[in-house]
């Protein structure tokens, strides 16, 4: 449960394969799915989502991906966790 791992006001950074990636691998997500379906309880808000490339070594494959930053609802308890 991510709520136990991320403090209120804290950030979660998630890298996932983009829906445009066609090679075999884990489930792909769209930006809309990241925004609306990943955390439906609104405990986390999507604050940034950038298209990127995930490189797998030693094979050197490059996968179309997203790097998404979520912020947990609530006030930060320390400037280090804002």
Secondary-structure breakdown of the chain: helix, strand, coil percentages, each rounded to the nearest 5: 15, 40, 45
The predicted-structure confidence for 14-72, as pLDDT tens digits, reads as follows: 999 999 998 887 889 999 998 888 887 788 999 999 999 988 877 778 899 999 999 99
Query: What is the reported pLDDT for 10?
Result: 93
Q: What is the dihedral of CA 8, 19, 64, 32, to 10 degrees?
A: -40
pTM flag (> 0.75): yes
Query: What is the reported pLDDT for 11?
Result: 94
Q: Is the pLDDT of residue 81 over 60?
A: no
Query: What is the reported pLDDT for 80?
Result: 60
| Residue 78 pLDDT level (bands cut at 50, 70, 90) | low
């Amino acid at each position: 449960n991510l709520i136990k791992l991320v403090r209120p006001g804290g950030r979660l950074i998630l890298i996932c394969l983009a829906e445009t990636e066609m090679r075999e691998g884990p489930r792909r997500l769209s930006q809309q799915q990241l925004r609306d379906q990943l955390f439906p309880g609104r405990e986390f808000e999507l604050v940034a989502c950038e298209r990127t490339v995930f490189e797998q070594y030693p094979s050197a494959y490059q996968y179309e991906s997203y790097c998404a930053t979520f912020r947990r609802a609530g006030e930060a308890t320390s400037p280090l966790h804002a």
